[in-house]
């Protein structure tokens, strides 16, 4: 099983703790859309993003964004 990494970042701000909190999940390759949505709801953040392997050979990665 691949390890999962979760980060909470501050975006659109000039100082830590300002702006919007953003969740970033790395390593959720096998997760269904439903599981991603459930995790996004659990974080209670404005947005939770998932960095996934690319499905297009021209891309470096794929990104999915969920809101609670």
- Mind telling me the catalytic residues? 47
Pair 64, 36: CB distance under 8 Å: yes
Residue 48, burial from CB neighbour count under 10 angstroms (0-12, 13-18, 19+): buried
Residue with tokens 């979760």: 6
């Amino acid at each position: 099983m691949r390890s999962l990494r979760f980060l909470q970042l501050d975006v659109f701000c000039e100082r830590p703790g300002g702006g919007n909190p953003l969740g970033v999940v790395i390593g959720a390759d096998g997760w269904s859309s439903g599981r991603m949505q459930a995790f996004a709801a659990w974080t209670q953040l404005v947005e939770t993003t998932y960095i996934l392997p690319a499905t297009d050979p021209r891309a470096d990665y794929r990104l999915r964004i969920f809101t609670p």
